[in-house]
Structure 1
């Protein structure tokens, strides 16, 4: 008959041999989980900077565009569904036209009331409709970027629990800011949307 004490001792020695590997695997998964939880893909904000030329009078023209009241009573799931719906609806409804063609000027930020506008107008319309549907305006920030062709562009950023998500007029797909491969230049300050801040890395 096998001695139970002897078997237990052999098993203990074998397990001790694997202990360093077990500890390594455990540490790897704990580190990965911690990294994922602590490093959400948020846009890196830097110092205060002057507003884009077309947004100089934005707060006077549209007070809701610079509101900092935290009024949302929606769940994250409700917010995301509203964001997805409005992003797609505005992209389908508004026709892309440059400010030069429509207003005879290079830069003019306004709601696309005539059913057409450029990228800033798309972003403004989305922000307006999302605020009207109960989203916290401090989670909705207009940003200026250089697109993948390094041309000037503007998007609306939605600050979710998963990080900063981008609502773009060139696609219905909502991406994280890093997935866009855009170079982010400046964005409304989340704490004071009437101010703008420089993006430290894009």
Structure 2
């Protein structure tokens, strides 16, 4: 990796835009796994994702959480992709604000890097339903995307800003949306993490 990509990655996201569709059912920040709350629209840049990359939306509902072998593989893939992929904004590369695609020879932004990691792990045999794309607000409340790996240790995060894989509760991020594990072509609000950890639970 040629340097840490500090610019906001992806279209601007706000908590208000996520909370608007329905009352919040806040997830407990101590949960091992991120919990889907209710259906939401897919992130703007993901339009056409399933058509262009069918594997990114292919579900394997029978899969059990990934174990130590998959995690060791994920550590290698995460570190390698971060090191080798130059980070470049979509506006600079495509002339548009947001476009989810595999990195080109020029590189890619956070969503592109997530896709590359997911593809490499699937090619190595990791179940697709254990590899969930998620949109978050990072520690500076900037838009970002990460790959959530569902393991027997809980949900772990592969991040283009960090070559260490950590539990989602240790990222300091606010998790907004995530692919539905049962149907990867759809998205759910998860609403958990840093900015929501003390938010009271509301009934729907």
The TM-score normalised by the length of structure 1 is 0.77
Residues 1:134 and 2:125 aligned together: yes
Q: Of 171, 183, 186, which aligns to 2:174?
A: 183
Cα pair 2:65 2:130 within 8 Å, conserved? no
**SS of residue matched to 1:89:** helix
Matches within 5 A, 1:98-113: 98-113=89-104
Q: Deviations over 1:79-123 (max 9, x none)?
A: 011111101110011001111111111101000032400000010
User: For residues 60 and 122 of structure 2, what CA distance do their matches in structure 1 show?
Assistant: 11
Flag the structure with higher helix content: 1
- How far residue 41 of structure 1 moved from its aligned partner, in angstroms, is 1.6
* CA radius of gyration, larger in: 1
Gaps (5+ residues) in structure 2? Answer: 1-29, 194-204
Aligned CA-pair RMSD:
1.8
1:46 aligned residue: 37
Residue of 164, 168, 181 corresponding to 2:159: 168
2:57 paired residue number = 66
Change (3 A) 1:74 1:199: closer
Q: Which has the higher contact order (CA 8 A, sep 6+)?
A: 2
Residue 172 of structure 1 aligns to a residue in which SS?
strand
Query: Any residues of structure 2 matched to 1:1-202 within 5 Å, and which?
Result: 40-69=31-60, 76-202=67-193
> Could you list the runs of 4 or more consecutive aligned residues of structure 1 that deviate by over 4 angstroms after TM superposition?
70-75
Q: Measure the CA separation in 1 of the matches of 2:64 and 2:155.
A: 20
Give the drift of 1:77.
Answer: 1.8
Taking the aligned partners of 1:73 and 1:90, their CA distance within structure 2 comes to: 25
Deviation at 1:76, TM superposition (A): 1.4
Instruction: Give the superposition deviation at 1:40.
Output: 4.9
TM-score by length of 2: 0.76
Inter-partner Cα distance in structure 1 for 2:65 and 2:111:
26
